[in-house]
Structure 1
């Protein structure tokens, strides 16, 4: 994963970091399906970056979600 700072608004200091994320086909399809479901639910296009930002914030603020994430990571570690 790579990162670099990018300005949030032209003329302002860099406040965000840009990442490159590599997903396998199943995960990419799931992210597309989530975006489509959110579009249907909200009536507007939902960017994948917005979905990932909200998931990061949710994980950081909700111990249950953080625990589910940790369990998923451990499960993948166990299966190689």
Structure 2
């Protein structure tokens, strides 16, 4: 990554101190999704809710693809 870019990831900053130090040395802003608090006002941003949204979207998309012939009106 280049300087002044932002890394948004699940990287456990407490366990990956060297990764955090490396990002700081390179001038990269690192945001740990696993460090976002699970409170109702930011629930849209927390990791478990975000993953659940992606999984449910993907499941409904796959279900639609699998059952498309059954769902079509004749």
TM-score (norm 2): 0.31
Q: Which gives a bigger RCO, structure 1 or 2 (Cα 8 Å, sep 6+)?
A: 2
Q: If each structure's helix is expressed as a fraction of its own residues, which one has the higher value?
A: 1
Which one has the largest radius of gyration?
2
TM-score (norm 1): 0.29
